[in-house]
Amino acid sequence: MMKRFVSLLVVCLLLGTGTAFAGVTLESFKFDNKAEELHFKKLIEQLRCLVCQNQSLADSDAELAHDLRAEVYEMIQAGNSDEEIVTFLVARYGDFVLYNPPVKPSTYLIWFGPFILLLIAALVLLRTVRRQKNPVVNDITPEERARLDAVLGNTPPQQDKQQ
């Protein structure tokens, strides 16, 4: 009984500790006014987390996202413009850090890849549908039918004998 109680206590402590650590990764930044805070949030929502890839810096709990949010915050506090911050991050991490990367040769695959795949899929579907509409039928001659029936041990239907 005591062993079960200790096991339950350990599990409860571990669960409680997990939620306590979850709050540590969420940093709180100090802003002079609400406009600065909204500006910061808007900027980090436009930047992609390099670890999560499907989340913005604002949404991600990854350690790298935490570091990048802190770096963006420091740059804003230092008086850097949004353009300077984005240019710095793109120079350091590439266009992938942007949720809306510019159209240029290095990002053509990102912009046009889905359309190319869609076009290929449509062509394959069209080709498949056309093949099903016009199936290739190889008619066999009466001699070949008689030979096939003989091999299979089938007696030919009466209609075939009359023709």
Q: Can you give the CATH number for the domain in which 89 is found?
A: 1.10.8.640
List Cα–Cα distances, 43 to 53, 76, 128, 141, in angstroms: 16, 10, 47, 76
Distance CA 23, CA 36 (A): 23
Least confident of 72-76, 85-89, 138-142, 154-158: 154-158
Residue 85 lies in domain: 26-102
Three-state secondary structure call for residue 48? strand
The reply to whether 44 and 97 lie within a common domain is: yes
Per cent of the chain over pLDDT 70 is: 77
The reply to whether 34 and 96 lie within a common domain is: yes
- Token pair for 124: 């394959």
Q: How confident is the model at residue 13 (pLDDT cuts 50, 70, 90)?
A: low
Residue 125 and residue 133 in contact, taking contact as beta carbons nearer than 8 Å: no
CB atoms within 10 A of CB 82: 14
- Mean of pLDDT values over 17-41: 68
pLDDT at 16 over 70: no
The reply to whether 64 and 131 lie within a common domain is: no
Least confident of 6-10, 27-31, 40-44, 79-83: 6-10
Question: How many domains are contained in the chain?
Answer: 2
pLDDT in tens, 96-129: 888 888 898 988 888 899 999 999 999 999 998 8
Distance CA 119, CA 113 (A): 10
The continuous run of DSSP H or E covering 39 comes out as helix 34-45
